């Protein structure tokens, strides 16, 4: 069995696999790392390897306590990925985006793929049917948009994400929700239309911490 850990900018995501079967998914904070990993290893004693992909500010030393129990592998730009990377600055490409691209290649072979990851940032990554990674885009996620409106203005309040009931907000709070949420929706739709203009056919893969926000509402 294998424990995959994704250290993001906001939270840590962990998933337990046996070959291609997903057994469990957990989300927790960086402060909870030691206790949660210990809990997972006790719950699944057959885990032999921990694979870590990190874009967050977490030192590798945080995993040293588990070295005597399992093998630990840190993904890096030197790791082998199932695509040709044509990014102009390959060493600056986030490991999270590389892992997403790899997953898209393996899960959806022989297709053009657009991966949209809605997390702290919203990232767009395009991998063509020949498994060539071309790049994409990065923009602020929902939380960053709400926070920036509050931090860089004198009077706008800090709100938590909420799906707007209507496009025309008739209060400051409703206007913020409409601007932030509908802004993201139109951005995503706009990117998809841009890709449609260049590629006749491609699959769209939506993932990330806020994907359920869109799907549930």
Catalytic, 125? Answer no
Burial 130-154 (b: 16+ CB within 10 A, else e): ebebebbeeebbbbbbbeebeeeee
DSSP secondary structure, 99-161, as one string: HHHHHHHHHSTTS-EEEEEESSEEEEEEE-TT-EEEEEEEEE-HHHHHHHHHHTSSSPPP---
What is the CA 173 to chain-centroid distance, rounded? 28
Distances (CA, A) of 113 to 2, 100, 125, 167, 201: 26, 11, 8, 31, 9
d(CA 95, CA 101): 10
Residue among 17, 201, 203 nearest 109 (CA): 203
Q: Which of 96, 128, 189, 217 is catalytic?
A: 96
Q: How many other CB atoms are found less than 10 A from the CB of residue 22?
A: 10
Q: What residues are labeled active site?
A: 96
């Amino acid at each position: 069995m294998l424990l995959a850990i994704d250290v993001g900018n906001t939270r840590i995501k962990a998933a337990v696999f046996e070959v291609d079967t997903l057994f469990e998914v957990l989300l927790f904070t960086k402060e909870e790392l030691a206790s949660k990993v210990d809990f997972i290893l006790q719950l699944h004693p057959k885990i032999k390897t921990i694979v870590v992909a990190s874009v967050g500010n977490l030192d590798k030393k945080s995993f040293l306590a588990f070295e005597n129990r399992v093998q630990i592998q840190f993904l890096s730009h030197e790791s082998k990925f199932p695509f040709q990377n044509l990014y102009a600055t390959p060493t600056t490409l986030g490991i999270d985006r590389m892992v997403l691209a790899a997953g898209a290649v393996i899960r959806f072979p022989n297709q053009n793929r657009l991966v949209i990851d809605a997390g702290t940032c919203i990232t767009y990554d395009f991998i063509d049917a020949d498994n060539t990674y071309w790049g994409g885009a990065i923009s602020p996620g929902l939380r960053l948009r709400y926070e920036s409106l509050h931090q860089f203005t004198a009077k706008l309040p800090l709100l938590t994400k909420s799906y707007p009931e209507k496009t025309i907000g008739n209060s400051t709070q409703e206007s913020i929700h409409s601007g932030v949420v509908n802004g993201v929706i139109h951005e995503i739709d706009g990117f998809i239309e841009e890709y449609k203009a260049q590629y006749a056919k491609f699959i769209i893969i939506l993932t990330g911490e806020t994907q359920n926000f869109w799907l549930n509402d």
